[in-house]
Chains A and B, each alone.
Chain A
């Protein structure tokens, strides 16, 4: 899909950034589908990102439910092992690259210009291009399921030679789709960095920015640093498969272990890309509903930066079982454990913010609180996995599955849901339905824990991951996990209903929708936020300390 943007509407919309404050009249945007195809407005592109991500969340969720359905009972009931492998792989790929990452980019598009008092993103047309690359990339990826030989079946980590010598013929399409998705993330990151560094309201220093903006700035730097490495790795795969090179082929002098080093050099910062913006969202929500200022703002910023820097030197902890000299194991083990320190600072600060606060439990706060508790559980199991000798036992078991789902589902996904509930009044002008949100929250919490908590036990008992069948002693844990997965999956339909209801009507929200303690700039514009905001830069007033 070539980004053929007719100059007329885009020029006018993007020029608002430059000519703001001149009483410039806005022409009506094009009608119908063209409005969305050609839009350069950060709010509309943000909405597109969020809708895309929600759609992909359901597609990836259906793949997860196929996996859980097969694992409901021991033995093979519903799918063949080959298809099961495609489902685990596609679930991981879709959730990482098409659900969680675009959701955060969508929130960034909507909220960063509002939070720093900018009229739009720095590069609005690039913004349109980076969004529309995504549907292309993931239609291509999903289409591999229909190709002869099936879609990718080598796990979302696509280790060579499974993904080169032994891969299905569709792997070249998988590589192309990942390239396109990677370009989209890179362009998004460039745009976010350019916006944050150059478009802040006069008087707003870097250390005045809301934490969501800070965490996204650091995330964008991580993206710039590691997405090209991913692009390099998949390019090497492409050449190994199609052009006879031997990067990862021992027969030609290459090394399959090199693949794992390169992949995890990208992959570990990638997992922080999926969690740092979540920290920012939670750091906005907890002070609002505790009716206090955030405890330790500066230490929060430094902690995020420290986590980001450490994320580059811990990739080896994914490879303890591959074979590594003792010094290497010790280094990666201690470096990994060191990450617990800045993460602990963050959790401490969130708890300290709530300490003696006047807390109320509106839906965003419920999800944020659940995030803090459950993300910490995922953090602790991460510490267990960091212990190299213990990892030999846990490696490639359901304990690992439990760990990373705890940091990604009740971690990243809950933070995205919390952010959606928090900013829905700003987006739609209405509060989300309270009773329905409560149902959504409690069903999600129960579903998520019923799904993933038993996986700790089945993993410690030795159940291997990515296998469609299992020994009889794991039957009860898997029954619980599958039940929980279906509860969690179907309760997300409530979220869709909630959004539809919230767009159509509901209790009207004022500009400061969540009271006096939500002081960031987005609450100074009316609810719903008009299409064009801050054309005249606001004057930023530093809150009195």
Chain B
């Protein structure tokens, strides 16, 4: 093989290597880009029962009295948070379009204050987008003092366009500890108080 041919070959190898390296970098970035894409996709479609955690307005629409839907409430405790969480009722039956208010009891069973958060999920996933929450404890983190017990409301409405084949909607709330968040928040409160003083 002549010198010229081997130079052509080397240039070809160099080109191939740069292209594959570019593809590699692209795929590595793509793996991380999949995370926000997945979140956006789930929020748009309601797949995975991922719920919008911002308040929505109640739509005044006529209550559909022709059908009843069972709404069940399940509360679960994630590990590491010494709280109990209970819904005032396990299930309610209501018409689509009807607004309902359910109270949930949170009690801290330990001797120290702690922060927690209830992460919501809806099943079946096709009902996710038809659950409108005006007010929910799951929109924010909660702080409980040692032994404290509070009641917080969930105000929600099932939209009238809930698919007709859905007869039962389950709202699941899982409690998770919020770690290391209370100290900076407390500090902030203290400075504010200090400023006021």
Contacts and interface: CB of A to CB of B under 8 A. Distances in A.
A228 B178 CA distance: 32
A323 interface: yes
Nearest to A166: B79
Nearest to A225: B27
A505 B25 CA distance: 48
A369 interface: no
Contact of B23 (A194, A224, A258, A325): A224
Where chain A touches its partner, the secondary structure class is helix
A193 B27 CA distance: 17
A18 B6 contact: yes
Contact of A232 (B13, B17, B28): B28
Interface in B167-195: 174, 176-178
A323 B170 CA distance: 14
B12 A198 contact: yes
A231 B38 contact: no
Contact of A224 (B24, B39, B48): B24
Given A198-B12, A199-B9, A251 B78 contact: yes
Given A18-B6, A323-B125, A325-B126, A229 B20 contact: no
Contact of B119 (A224, A225, A251): A251
Contact of B31 (A17, A229, A257, A325): A229
B59 interface: no
Contacts of B42: 255
Interface string A164-202: 010000000000000000000010011001100111000
B3 to A, nearest CB: 8
Interface string A38-56: 0000000000000000000
A432 to B, nearest CB: 35
Contacts of B21: 190
Nearest to B38: A258
Contact of B16 (A17, A194, A251): A194
Nearest to B47: A325
Contacts of A328: 47
Nearest to A191: B17
A252 B180 CA distance: 12
Contacts of A17: 6
A376 to B, nearest CB: 32
B16 A198 contact: yes
A530 interface: no
Nearest to B25: A228
A258 B35 contact: yes
B23 A225 contact: yes
Contact of A262 (B1, B34, B125, B178): B34
A381 to B, nearest CB: 29
A186 B119 contact: no
Give the bracket for the number of chain B residues in contact with chain A. 35 or more
A123 B17 contact: yes
B12 A255 contact: no
Interface residues of A, number: 43
Contacts of B9: 18, 198-199
Given A323-B125, A325-B126, A228 B35 contact: no
A201 to B, nearest CB: 10
B77 to A, nearest CB: 12
A459 B28 CA distance: 37
B10 interface: yes
Contacts of B176: 250-252
A250 B31 contact: no
A15 to B, nearest CB: 10
Nearest to A122: B13
B31 A255 contact: no
A233 B47 contact: no
B129 interface: no
Interface string A5-33: 00000000000011111000000000000
A1 B94 CA distance: 67
A255 B48 contact: yes
A190 B17 contact: yes
A383 B38 CA distance: 28
Nearest to A257: B48
A229 B119 CA distance: 28
A247 interface: yes
A247 B28 contact: no
B31 A228 contact: yes
Contact of B28 (A165, A189, A231, A265): A231
8 contacts: A122-B13, A189-B20, A224-B27, A229-B28, A231-B31, A247-B35, A255-B42, A258-B34
Interface of A: 17-21, 122-123, 165, 186, 189-190, 193-194, 197-199, 224-229, 231-233, 236, 247, 250-253, 255, 257-258, 261-262, 265, 323-325, 328, 536-537
